[in-house]
Amino acid sequence: MNARPRLRAAVRWIAVVIAGLVLLELGARGFLWIRGHPYDASEVRSEVARVLRAERERAGAREARADRADTDEDMEGSPTQRYLHPYTAWETARGFGDLDEYSRSLGSEDGDTVEVLILGGSVAEDFGRADGAARLGEILRADPSFQGKKVRFLRFGREGYKAPQPVNLLVYLLDLGFEPEVVIHISGSEDLALGSDNAAAGAHPVFPANVHWSKLAVWGTSDRNALDATLAVRRTRRNLERWGGLMLDWGLARSALLGYSARRHFLDLRDELASQAKACEDYLANVSSRRSLRGPSSIGDPSQVLGESVRAWEEGSRCLHGICGGRGILYVHVLPPALHDQGSKKLTAQEIERGRAPASWVRGIGLGYPLLRRKGQELAARGIDFVDASLLFEDVTDDVYVDALDFGPAGQRMLAEKIGQAVLQRWPMKH
């Protein structure tokens, strides 16, 4: 008896609620129309999809950076792409591959193979990979003291390396079981140019080249604030994705009332994410620059900067000499020529054009090379086999340099002759 009135009441209530919702929906649409922003469901949907896509792309970019690749030189995926290394600051993709390849033959070398390890920066890298090593191999094999021997080059010159990176690299290779018989260390120009460049960027000259290191070392901190800031970004991003997914999957945008409110919340989350990400990046940049990027407190006086670079170069040579000496390895330290070393070569118009470099490089090499030559004499007096090749191109009038530091095949072959001579002079004493 009582069921029917109750049912009627329930239906009435449902109808009231639905009517209320419809009224609210119409009211919301009317309100937005009067305010000059008529509600457009498809626009809301595409806006949500657009924000989600942008955030995913941003997150993807951050992931790529977290993989510690130095990617802003159009060389992503290339052999020269740099990755963090615990002892030499970075290593290239090709370098990792080379090490893998060389390691496979560890312990299987026959007694007839002489392993020649090449260390240093870009000049050493070019020398090892191109005409320099090839010519040096010819020179060595042609000498009676190398009769019946094979010469194998271990190419570990790396663009941008400077002291003490070659020392750490040799220590690392010896720990892995490498046993080279000759170490040729070609260094000087990058030690000065990049050391000076570091100081200009507020980094210590003994730290690795700031231009590479600063890109790799961002995020390299474990403090809780950095973590919490990162995690806050992650949580908000997850909320944003969840909310956006909800809006798209449930079609909330169809209703002006729900779509408008949901969109407001979604955009609030996006703004929150942007400000959290900014705060996080700022914090990490600040922390990283203080602790990891710059090294010891910077020094301002240019003469002090040069002094630091020259000392690191000298110490690097002494450390390498000590390590090699203890193992009976022939160590030859070569000071290569550099375009901005005044008076070291009559430059051609093309070389002047190609040799343009940052002022810090020019200043570092211009002021530093005379110091390196003098220090080189001191190294030689200490018993280090030091080869001053800085004036190798003094009488050459042709094009040799391809940029401010590196030279082409003709220059490489000339350097190989000089190094070959030095190795052959010392080789019999070692054997």
Partner 1 sequence: MSVPDPTASRVRRRLGILAMQVTFALAGLALLEVGTRGYLWMRGKPYDAVEVRRQAQHLPRVNREFLPKEVQDQADAAPVSVDAISLHPYLGWEIDTGSDQIDGTIRSLEAQADPVPFRIVVVGGSVASAFCVAHARDNTLVECLSSDPEVPPRVYSLLNFARGGFKQPQQVNFLVYLLSLGFKPDIVINIDGFNEVALGMYNQTQGSHPVFPSAAHWSNLVAQGASDDAALDLMGEIRDSQRAIESWSERFTDWNLERSALIGSLALKRMLKLRGEIVSRFEGYARHLAEREEMLHMHGPRIEGDDQSTIEACVRVWKESSRSLHDICREHGILYLHVLQPTLHDKGSKPVTTRESEHGSMIDSWMRGVELGYPRLRREGQDLRRLGVEFVDASMLFANHPEELYYDACHFVDAGHVLLAKQICRELQRCLKKGR
Q: Are strands 182-186 and 69-70 parallel, antiparallel or unpaired?
A: unpaired
Tell me which residue of 96, 93, 155 sits closest to 124, measured CA to CA: 155
Q: Which residue in the set 43, 57, 76, 223 belongs to the binding site for partner 1 (CB under 8 A)?
A: 223
Of 32 and 274, nearer to partner 1 (C-beta) is: 274
Rounded Cα distance, 192 and 372, in Å: 9
Using CB under 8 A, which of the segments 98-106, 137-145, 151-159, 268-276 binds partner 1? 98-106
Q: Report the residue number, 23 or 106, with the smaller CB distance to partner 1.
A: 106
108 interacts with partner 1 by CB under 8 A: no
Contacting residue, 121, 128, 160, 164, with partner 1 by CB under 8 A: 164
Q: How far is the CB of 252 from partner 1 (least distance, A)?
A: 25
Give the x-and-dash track for 42-71 against partner 1 (CB under 8 A): -----------------x--xx-xxxx---
CA distance 222 to 230: 11
Counting contacts by CB under 8 A, is residue 221 touching partner 1?
yes
Site string for partner 1, 268-297 (x = CB under 8 A): ----------------x--xx-xxx--xxx
Helix (H, G, I), strand (E, B) or coil at 303: helix
74's tokens: 């159009």
Nearest distance, CB of residue 255 and partner 1, angstroms: 31
Q: Which residue number, 186 or 217, has a Cβ lying nearer to partner 1?
A: 217
**Helix, strand, or coil here: 163?**
coil
In the complex, what is the shortest distance from the CB of residue 95 to partner 1, in angstroms, rounded to a whole number? 10
Residue 174 binding partner 1, by CB under 8 A: yes
Q: What angle do CA 206, 212, 218 make, to 5 degrees?
A: 95
> Before 164, cis peptide (omega within 30)?
yes
Tokens standing for residue 167: 């020392």
- Least spacing, CB of residue 145 vs partner 1, in Å: 26
Q: Is 101 among the residues that bind partner 1 (CB under 8 A)?
A: no
Instruction: State which residue, 173 or 357, has the beta carbon closest to partner 1.
Output: 173
Smallest separation, CB 165 to partner 1 (Å): 8
What is the radius of gyration, based on Cα positions, of the chain? 32
- Using CB under 8 A as the binding rule, the residues of this chain from 378 to 407 that contact partner 1 are none
318 sits near partner 1 (criterion: CB under 8 A): yes
* Size of interface with partner 1, in residues (CB under 8 A): 71
Long-range CB contacts (< 8 A, 24+ apart) of 39-45?
39/256, 39/259, 39/260, 41/253, 41/254, 41/256, 41/259, 42/253, 44/247, 44/253, 44/259, 44/260, 44/263, 45/247, 45/248, 45/253
Which helix (H) or strand (E) is 421 found in, with range?
Answer: helix 409-430
Token output for 277: 């990400």
Give yes or no for residue 96 binding partner 1 (CB under 8 A): yes
- In angstroms, rounded to a whole number, what is the distance separating the alpha carbons of residues 372 and 25? 81
CB of 276: closest distance to partner 1 in angstroms?
13
Per rule CB under 8 A, is residue 235 in the interface with partner 1? Answer: yes
CB of 96 to partner 1, least distance (A): 5
Nearer to partner 1, 241 or 399 (CB): 241
Among 78, 103, 303, 397, binds partner 1 (CB under 8 A): 103
Using the rule CB under 8 A, give the single segment among 180-188, 230-238, 390-398, 423-431 that binds partner 1.
Answer: 230-238
Q: Does 195 bind partner 1 (CB under 8 A)?
A: no
We find the least distance from the C-beta atom of residue 20 to partner 1, in angstroms, to be 42
Does position 328 interact with partner 1 (CB under 8 A)? The reply is no
| Residue 306 tokens, joined | 């040069």
Query: CA 404 to CA 359: how far, in whole Å?
Result: 12
- Tell me if 186 sits within 8 A of 157, measured CB to CB: yes
Q: How far is CA 210 from the centre of its chain?
A: 9
Cβ density class 40-56: b for 16+ within 10 Å, e for less: eeeebbebbeebbeebe
Judge whether 390 and 335 are in contact, CB under 8 Å: yes
168 is a contact residue toward partner 1 (CB under 8 A):
yes
| Upper half-sphere CA count for residue 260 (Cβ side, 13 Å) | 17
DSSP 143: S
Q: Which is nearer to partner 1, 174 or 402 (CB)?
A: 174
Nearer Cβ to partner 1 (209/258): 209
Range 124-163, binding partner 1 (CB under 8 A): 163
The whole-angstrom separation of Cα 379 and Cα 95 is 30
